[in-house]
Structure formats: structure tokens, C-alpha cells
Amino acid sequence: METTTVQKTLVKTLGISAAAVALVLFGYAAQAQAPKKEEPKAAAKKPAPPPKCNSLKTQATCEARDDCRWVSASIDEKTKKQKKAAYCQSKPKAPAKKAEPKK
């Protein structure tokens, strides 16, 4: 059986493809064995923001912060029962100052 030009081209192409696949597999295996980089965990994390005022449940922790205020419980005078529980809330922001008009 004689080999034709088409058969020779096919064999060469298959050989080149097999070599390329082998190189890719060797590269992947070498990359998988490489030591992994450790990211600095302390430098990457940002400090946690303070909890919101409405999440504070005790009067002492609420009054310790400058941006929060404690609202005491409301009690019905007739029945002496509590209508609404005490809670902590954010202080209102100061209104923006208006620029004085130029004369």
C-alpha cells in the first residue's frame, strides 16, 4: 500500500496535534505543582464599621457613642403599662449651612 500526499499530511497533522496536547498537559501539571501565593489577610481586610445605632440594645452602649441617642420607653399614664419599648436611634444630622448672599 502506497502512502499518498493526503495520508502524509494527515499523519503530520495528527503528530503535531498530539505534540501540542502533550505540551499543554505538561504545562498544566507543572503549574498545578507550583506553590500557591498566600495573600496577606490582615492587609486586605478593612476595619469593620461600628454597628448602627438601631442595633444597640442597652442604654450604656448607646449613650457612649456621640452619633446615637437613647429614647426612653413610653408608658400609658392611665394603665401604667408600657406602650413602646426604649430604643437607641441615630441623632439627626445638622442642617447644611447656607452661604450668605454677597452684597
Instruction: Give the β-pairing of 87-90 and 74-75.
Output: unpaired
CA 35 distance to own-chain centroid: 26
pTM for this predicted structure: 0.45
pLDDT at residue 1 in the model: 67
pLDDT at residue 103 in the model: 64
pLDDT at residue 9 in the model: 94
HSE-up of residue 84 (Cα within 13 Å, Cβ side) = 6
pLDDT along the chain (103 residues), means of 10: 88 96 90 73 70 87 89 89 90 77 67
pLDDT at residue 97 in the model: 76
Q: Domains of the chain: which residue ranges? A: 1-33, 51-90
